[in-house]
Amino acid sequence: MGESNFVDYLKVYARSGKGGRGSAHFRREKYVPFGGPDGGDGGDGGDVILQGDRNFWTLLHLKFERHILAGHGENGSGRMSKGKDGENKTIRLPLGTVVFDGETGEFITDISRDGQEFTLLKGGRGGKGNNYFKTATNQAPRYAQPGEPFQERKIIFQLKLLADVGLVGFPNAGKSTLLSTVSAAKPKIADYPFTTLEPSLGIVDIRDGHSFVMADIPGIIEGAGEGKGLGFRFLRHIERNSVLLFLVPADSRDVKKDYETLLNELIHYNPELADKQRVLAISKSDMLDDELEQALSEDLPENISSVFISSFTLKGIPALKDLLWKTLNEQPFRDVESIVHKPMDIHLAGLDNDFDQEKIATT
């Protein structure tokens, strides 16, 4: 696979700053040869902070920044001079980024709101200078505190697109064509499987100024829930969609069986996907006459709304948009942060990156 501007998985090394050392200085002036302690405190180390930014939609800007280091605090000095605090390091992330521990796969946090901040690593506190330890019985302490050490951690950033409607279908089912028809998105379209190799987003306009976001992901093959095809690489993007739109072409041998196969793959990947609202669209229906369409209608899956569409003739497109809008409005509100995150299997991700620890400054 060639280089792509869509980056949804990164593993980085992050390190906060260490605290500066306190000073054990004594006041020495021309007429004050034996002044008291005047050592200043060390500066605090910088924090590593995560911040949600709606202006990003991939992790591309972090692709070549694998070592994220906050500044160290400076040492204190005489005349009660406090050391300068280390510079914080803010990592801006697209909304929908889930953060995991790179060693254990443990869930850390979920960045879902613009401007949301999370302190990933706290910088070390600066050490106290000797003036801090001056007492009535110890008026000339000759010692000061060292600064606290930095914190370090390997981190995994995993992006899950935030979209209202997610397109689900086998390769070459017409998902990209539909997205380009109902929105201004321009995904790659061609007459061969796996034309789509990365997710695409489009804004679908409805009447009265309303709109919703639709996401197209690469086609699913049987066994995708076990990692076959592009498997886990893009299935995670479906987890954040409010409604799943299943696309099965009209020339399928068995529409109902194909739908059930797709649904089973999603449930195998994540059983919670079974609770999502679903809509079925039979694409490429311009090749059907009324008789064939009626025959197919009698054998469609039950308990799911369905519509026959054609992205070429625009047949059923307005009805599909209305149906999706109605289904979205029936969705109960769910706070993204309330979703339970299980520890991820960092081996299954298959995209781990090696770290050259010798290049990381630890002093």
pLDDT in tens, 118-142: 999 999 999 999 999 998 889 889 9
Percentage of the residues of the chain whose pLDDT score is greater than 70: 81
Q: How many helices (H) and strands (E) does the chain have?
A: 6, 14
Statement: residue 154 has pLDDT above 70: yes
Residue 347 or 325, more confident: 325
- Residue 229 binned pLDDT confidence (cut-offs 50, 70, 90): very low
Statement: residue 43 has pLDDT above 50: yes
Residue 86 or 333, more confident: 86
Give the chain's domains with CATH numbers: 1-159 (2.70.210.12), 165-332 (3.40.50.300)
Highest mean pLDDT among 163-177, 280-294, 349-363: 280-294
Q: Across the chain, what does the average pLDDT equal? A: 81
Statement: residue 99 has pLDDT above 60: yes
Statement: residue 148 has pLDDT above 90: yes
Mean pLDDT of 300-328: 89
Would you state the pLDDT for residue 68?
95
| DSSP code of residue 81 | B
Distance, CA of 258 to CA of 208 (rounded, Å): 35
Distance, CA of 269 to CA of 116 (rounded, Å): 29
Lowest pLDDT segment from 53-62, 234-243, 270-279: 234-243
Mean pLDDT of 257-277: 86
Q: Do residues 130 and 77 lie in contact, with contact meaning Cβ atoms separated by under 8 Å?
A: no
